[in-house]
Structure 1
Amino acid sequence: MRFRSLVVCVLLVVSLSACSAALVPLSFDPKTKLGQAYQLMYEFDRPLPAERLIQEAYDIYLERGDYEGMGTAYQLYGFFFVSRAVVNWSHVYARAGFFDGSAYKDRFHSSAAYFERSANLFMKIDQFDSVTSVLFNGARSYVFADERDKACSTYDRSLEYYRKNIAANPGVKVTLPAGYSDYEVLVRDEKVQAKCP
């Protein structure tokens, strides 16, 4: 009897581990789905279910006409393509590609494209701080893709929206990486590293 119970438990664990979304609580809330996707990517190294959750969240936001939610989903998808989790699972993605049909070798371009889509959605609702952030990260993805001209122009656009945000929200505090107290200096340094003219 004990042996039979042990076999049933082992089979259950094996079947659950084969399922890409095993042990992820079911939720119909898109914000929760994005939170779960973030955890799966950055804490559990499980990009396969993370990608599915991002897409599900986006679809819900699309149905609701929620530009902020759609922009946030696409922003996370931009980070997804450059995440360590995707690199760790490159053997799967190099063979099968991604949910959206893009190939592993084009992942930096895909990342930049999703950041661009995210920016366009945030622009529709004048969320200039979010536009600034996604364009900055999109520029970095273009650097990874060895697209210097696109990287440089995207850094410039990010700076443009940073200035719009400051003008629209005087006194706003901007969160910057350690060692920086000025966004314009950060962008200047990034452009120097990217060898922008």
Structure 2
Amino acid sequence: MSGEIVIPPEQRIKVVEREDGKARLVIFSQRPETYQFAVETDWEDEGYAWKVMSGVSGIYSSPEDAERDAKQEIRWVRDQLAKDNPTKGANEVPAFFVKAPRSMALRDFAEHLAKLAQSDRWEERDSVNYPDGYYFRQCFGQLEIVAQIADGTEFSDADFLIWVRKGEDMDRRTEALANMLVQSGYVLIG
């Protein structure tokens, strides 16, 4: 969704400025106890300047949840927050890029992950900030794993990207999942 949406200052919870100063992440609240994020971009053309909001997220129950997903979905936000506070980035790390043994959809990959991890079906979630507009996630206690289509910016051969949000047994579960993928014919990249 794009357009000239204006978020009043009193609704803005947090603003993260992109390094070039031409865009910012805005975490905001329009109703009590509901939070969203969007990217506000500055545009100039023929002497006119305006701001455009894009990528308005779904609704979150806390500003921390909104920020967490914004970091995951928008690379420059993740990079900027890591520069601003290097220790805060430890809560969420990309686990690995994956090359599938054959062409497959993200849905098929998520079904295969569920079988490998002996888990329930992974939850499909919509978000305009992800490639193709959706991703899958699964929780194991406090540990959350997210699978998405790789956007090709870091590794053009990668089909998928798996994120692990910090939780109990993160290292053990991440290593086990990586080993199961390799044994099933997937290639880990990076």
User: Which structure carries more strand by proportion?
Assistant: 2
Structure having the higher Rg: 1
User: Which structure carries more helix by proportion?
Assistant: 1
TM over 0.5, yes or no? Answer: no
TM-score w.r.t. structure 2 length?
Answer: 0.30
TM-score w.r.t. structure 1 length?
Answer: 0.29
